[in-house]
Structure 1
Amino acid sequence: MSGQTASASNPIIVDDPYKRLEIILNPDGSLTRNPDRYPNTSATPDPKQPIPVLSKDITINQSNSIWARIFLPRQALHTSSKLPLVVYYHAGGFIHCSAASTIFHVFCSNMALELQAIIVSVDYRLAPENRLPAAYDDAMEALHWIKTTPEEWVKRCADFANCFLTGSSSGANIAYHAGLRAAEEADDLEPLKIRGLILHQPFFGGSEKVESELRLVNDPILPPGVSDLMWQLALPKGADRDHEYCNPAVGKRSKVLDKLVSVGWRVLVTGCDGDPLIDRQVGLVKLMEEKGMKVVSEFRAGDHHGVDFMQPAKARALFLVLKEFILSASATVPGDGI
C-alpha cells in the first residue's frame, strides 16, 4: 500500500478517513470517539513508588477542563539544583488524545528522565467541539499558570529562566502558535523565560498538495486524506487549508516570525522523509531561516509519522538530539529569550 504513488491528476484514495480515525461526526458538530483507541495511564505522584519519574495531575482551568500532567525525575526531590522546564503539547490531530494517553505518558516520562528536565504536559480542549484557536488559548493559559503557580514541584524544582515549548505533530503546531503569541507577550510572562521551540514532526498543511503528500498519498500512518479531515474538523468553520493556523507561509503569522528573531530564540524542527508532512516541515525551516532565525533541523531518512512513540530506540535517539539542543540554547547569553 505505501509503495503506491500518485500525481495531482491521478490521486489514489485508500479508504474512509472517518473509519481510519474511528470517529463519528454527530449532527450537533461533536464527535463520538472510540474510547478504546487510546488507553490512558494514571499519574504516579507518590515518592514511595519505586519509579525513576514521578507524575501528578494539576487543574489549570476547571471551567474549561484544562489541566496538566507534571513529570519530575525522582532525584530532583533530593537536590537544590533547578531543572530545565519543558512545556509539552500532545499529538492527536487536534481531535484525539489527552495528557493521560498512555503513549504520551510514557513519552513524557522517558523525556523527563533522559533530558533531566521537568515536563509539564498540557491537556487542552479538543476539536471540533472546540475549534482552533481554543487549543492555542489553552496553551497560553498554561504558560500564565506556570509563571505564578504555587505547585511545589514546579516552583521548587523548575528553572523558570530556562523554559522550552515543544509538542508532537498537532502539538508542535500548538507549540509554534503559542510561541508566536508568547514572543509578543514577553513582559506578561515574566519571570518565565522561553529559550526555544522544539517542533517534533510538526503538523502543517496547505490547499495545494506538496510532493511528499502526493508521493505518500496512501501512507499507512497519516495519509493526506486523514490530515485533510483533521484540519476540516479543527479549523474555524469556513476556513480552508491556507488559513494561517494551518499554513505558516501565509497571512500575518509569517510577519510575526520577525518577533521570534528579535527575542533570540533557537528553534529545533525534527522529522523524517517517510512522513507525508516532511515537505511542509522543510518549508517551515526555510521560512524561518529566511527570517534570520537560529534553526536546527534534524530530518532522518525513512521512518514514519509518530515513529518515536512506537519504537523506544528511535525515542532515545530523539531525546539525545533534544538534550543537545537544550544545552546549546541554555548556554546563550543571559537576557536572551523572554
Structure 2
Amino acid sequence: MSNEIARSHSTIDPYKHLQIVVNPDGTITRSLISPSTEATPDPVNDDAVVLSKDVTVNQSKNTWVRIFVPRQALDSPSSTKLPLIVDFHGGGFIFFSAASSLSHEFCSNVAVELPAIVVSVDYRLAPEHRLPAAYDDAMDALHWIKNTQDDWLMKHADFDNCFLIGSSAGGNIAYYAGLRATAQVNNLLPLKIKGLLLFPFFGAIKRTTSELRLVNDRVSPPCLSDLMWELALPIGADRDHEYCNPKVEGGSKLVDQIRLLGWKVMVIGCDRDPLIDRQIELVRMMEHKEMQVVTHFQEGGYHGIEIIDPVKRKVLLVDIKKICLVVRKGSIVSTRMVFAVPYTIISF
C-alpha cells in the first residue's frame, strides 16, 4: 500500500497539521513554535530542586547533551551514586531538542523523583540528517559518557546502572542505540547499560487495528507518522525498512543479545494512541525471545501523555523507579500488563 493510498483514509492534512513546508533541496521549513528552557547550572533560588547544564559532544555535528542532577546530590554528596538515565527526546525525528520545555521538564522530574542523573541527548534532526544520523549521534553520546571527565557525572552517576529512555521517536532511537550498544559492550566500559525504557515510535506499510481505529486521531494520526517516516528514513526506503519496522525478517539478531545480557525492558503506551498495536507487537516479539519485559499500558490517554500530563508522568516514574531499584538489587522482573488489551492486532 503506498503512502498516498494510506493517507486517503484520513481527513487530516499532515503538512498543515505539522506546520511544515518541504523545500526543493529536501530540507523543511518549520513553523511550529516549540517553547524551550535554558539550562540552570547554578541555583537561581533556594527552592531549585534540580540543576542542569549543556555540554558539547561533537562540535562538528553540533551535537550536545543536557545533564540533570538533583540539587540534593550536589549539596549533600555521599558515597552512594545515582542511576544514570540517558534520554532521547521525541518529535518524529524532525522536531524539538534537548532544550525543549517538555523534554527539560520530564528529565527534571526523572532526576528528582527516582532520583537519578539524567543525560538528555540532542541529536541531529531529519530530513536534513536522515536516519541513521540520530542513531550515530546516540552512540556518540554513549561513548562521550564513557570517556567523560565531567565532574557531575564522575562524582554522582552510577556507570554500572545505566538505562536508555526515549519518548516516541526518542523511544525508537533508544531501541536502536540499545541494539548497537549490545555489540559494543566492552568498548563502552565502564558504562554498563542495564535496560531500555521505551515509549516507542514504530511503523510498517500494513495498517494495524489501532491505526485504522484512530485514523483521524487529533494528536497523532497515522498520516502524520507516515510523513515523518518519509522525511526520516533513508531516501528510497519505505516503512518496512528495519528502522521503522523492528519485526522485519523476524527482528534484528541483536535483540537476542539484550536477553543474553540480562537487560530489562519496559514498554510504555496507551490504548488511545494509534501506535499501541505496534508497541504490543514489540512486547510479544520480545516475550517470544524470552526477554525480561515489563509493560506500562493504560486505558485512554493519547500519544505522549506520560511526557505531557504531570499526573500520568508521576505514575510512570513510580514504575520506572521500581525497575531501577530491582536492577540494583539483582532481582528478576516478570512481565505484567497494567490493563488487559481488549482487541487483537490485525494487519491489513
Task: Tell me if TM exceeds 0.5.
Answer: yes
CA RMSD, Structure 1 to Structure 2 (Å)? 1.5
TM-score normalised to structure 1 length: 0.93
Kept in 1: contact 2:296–2:316 (CA 8 A): no
Asked if 1:47 is matched to 2:43, the reply is yes
Describe the superposition over 1:18-55 as per-residue Cα deviations: whole angstroms up to 9, x where unpaired.
Answer: 11111111111111112x52111100010353300000
Give the counterpart letter for 1:93 in structure 2. Answer: G
Count of paired positions:
324
Kept in 2: contact 1:107–1:309 (CA 8 A): yes
TM-score normalised to structure 2 length: 0.90
Kept in 2: contact 1:103–1:309 (CA 8 A): yes
Q: Distance in 1 between matches of 2:118 and 2:45?
A: 19
Q: Distance in 1 between matches of 2:312 and 2:208?
A: 26
Q: Distance in 2 between matches of 1:9 and 1:90?
A: 27
Q: Distance in 1 between matches of 2:174 and 2:109?
A: 20
- What SS class does the counterpart of residue 166 from structure 1 fall into? strand
Q: Distance in 2 between matches of 1:252 and 1:290?
A: 11
Give the counterpart letter for 1:135 in structure 2. Answer: A
Asked if 1:76 is matched to 2:73, the reply is yes
Kept in 2: contact 1:205–1:246 (CA 8 A): yes
Q: Which has the higher contact order (CA 8 A, sep 6+)?
A: 1
CA 1:10–1:104: 2 relative to 1, 3 Å: closer
Asked if 1:161 is matched to 2:160, the reply is yes
TM superposition shift of 1:93: 0.2
Q: Counterpart of 1:319?
A: 317
Q: Counterpart of 1:124?
A: 123
Describe the superposition over 1:61-92 as per-residue Cα deviations: whole angstroms up to 9, x where unpaired.
Answer: 01101100001000111222200000000000
Kept in 1: contact 2:12–2:216 (CA 8 A): no
Kept in 2: contact 1:165–1:194 (CA 8 A): yes
Which residues in structure 2 correspond to 1:224-243 (within 5 Å)?
224-243=222-241
CA 1:159–1:226: 2 relative to 1, 3 Å: same
Q: Counterpart of 1:150?
A: 149
Kept in 2: contact 1:89–1:122 (CA 8 A): yes
| Unmatched tracts of structure 1, length 5 or more | 1-7, 334-338
Which residues in structure 2 correspond to 1:170-249 (within 5 Å)?
170-200=169-199, 202-249=200-247
Q: Distance in 2 between matches of 1:120 and 1:21?
A: 28
Q: Distance in 1 between matches of 2:193 and 2:230?
A: 31
Asked if 1:63 is matched to 2:60, the reply is yes
Kept in 2: contact 1:163–1:195 (CA 8 A): yes
Describe the superposition over 1:302-334 as per-residue Cα deviations: whole angstroms up to 9, x where unpaired.
Answer: 11101123321111111111111111122227x
TM superposition shift of 1:9: 9.8
Q: Select which of 25, 31, 34 maps to 2:22.
A: 25
CA 1:297–1:57: 2 relative to 1, 3 Å: same
- What SS class does the counterpart of residue 243 from structure 1 fall into? coil
Q: Distance in 1 between matches of 2:215 and 2:106?
A: 28
